[in-house]
Structure 1
Amino acid sequence: MSIQVRQLSKHYGKQKAVDSISFDANPGQILGFLGPNGAGKSTTMQILTSYLKPDTGTALVCGYDTQSQSLEVRRRIGYLPENTPLYIDMYVKEFLSFVAESYGMSDVSKRVQDTIELVGLQMEQHKKIHMLSKGYQQRVGLAQAIIHEPEVLILDEPTSGLDPNQLAEIRELIRKLGRDKTVILSTHIMQEVEAICDNLIIINKGQIVANSSIVELKKQHQTDSLEEIFRKLTA
């Protein structure tokens, strides 16, 4: 298993942002991670990426502990946060070269060019990032997450700001990446979940209220509407 979470908790004062959650995620699987605002999604993802320390419990990525072996975790994980931190005064190609070099990659130039082609930034690679639309900036964020060919991808709202054509292209890219990587995808858009995800976790008030395949979840609740299931479980 690429990700193993056991009894993970994180408190902010008296508020339980994450409350003793446990789950697994496997290679070749795209896991939808859903919940209302403030449910604990971002906190969980930040713990998995070693940005936050849990109060209790453990999280392993590719067998490495996110706290005691954080450097090994970061080598194996690609992270696209909701608000991607980009150096907007750098050129696209320059920025991606900087990211690749920070991972100590050997053939930086080839890897940068391959990644630019993969995410569809050929026409934008010689522009400064601040000149790009939100959708193309999102592609740059996705490029920096995958440039080091990580085993695990954690994507927070990866299709935000994309037009319908870009949306279809990025969906297909995520599906392609999910064939041999472990992907956790967080979004509020149920159509995205339907189009991309295999399995689904719904978290509410820091606790997991659903963890199954989409097919099983629909069967269990006797409806084809994920939106209806989501509202029922998070009301």
Structure 2
Amino acid sequence: MKKIFLLFLVFTFINLFSQEYHFDYSIESQTTKTKPNKEKSISTSFYDSKNKIHLHIDKYNDKMRAVIYDKDKNLRHSFKVTESKGFVTFQYTHTNDFSKHKNKDIAKDDVLEVKKIDSLQYQIIAFKNEKRNKKRFTALVTLEKSKLNYLEIGVDHAQSDEMEQKVRKFLDLNSNYILKRMQVDYSTGYSYDSSLKIKNVDFSLKLPEKLIIKEFDFIGEFQD
């Protein structure tokens, strides 16, 4: 998949366009799962620093799809990704509307605790109750000063935004930071270590004026 980001990107669309997403950073995540078994993986996303929106690329059965999840609108936009003769094409396929879906999250009432280890390292603990005798996970995050202001805590938890806010309270308001590394240990026995590499890019994707709304089906997206 790394090949994609070294090629000149060409985007083909049909119809009029209603919205454009501009991406100015690529974020490569190198993750090493340490428990219950060791496994390494690399994934890359693109980031719109102005609107804080990601473009993720998924690969399944040698087919690639790109996805933008617009959190404010609860919309998930999908694109077919095709490589040919040194070019990469993104073609809009459909949109999933999650505005009417209400998923129950058992972790939404967890109690969060953030401890400062030093000026660039912080420990985050999610407790399952107010007694703080049961942990859901413990995370050690390492920051780095940067031109980009990027502190999104990449854990699958309902309060990830609150974690970021709690960490920011310790930081210098006159400086920007990126999340450089994160080590996470879940109470279920799953652990991983993830590091980020961030680079500048400059490209845009556009949506058609009339969106094609479909029900979400991950496997179905890779059929055509």
Q: Decide: shared fold, TM above 0.5.
A: no
Point out the structure with the larger helix share.
Answer: 1
> Which interval holds the TM-score relative to the shorter structure?
under 0.3
Larger Rg: 2
TM-score (norm 2): 0.27
Q: Whose strand proportion is higher, 1 or 2?
A: 2
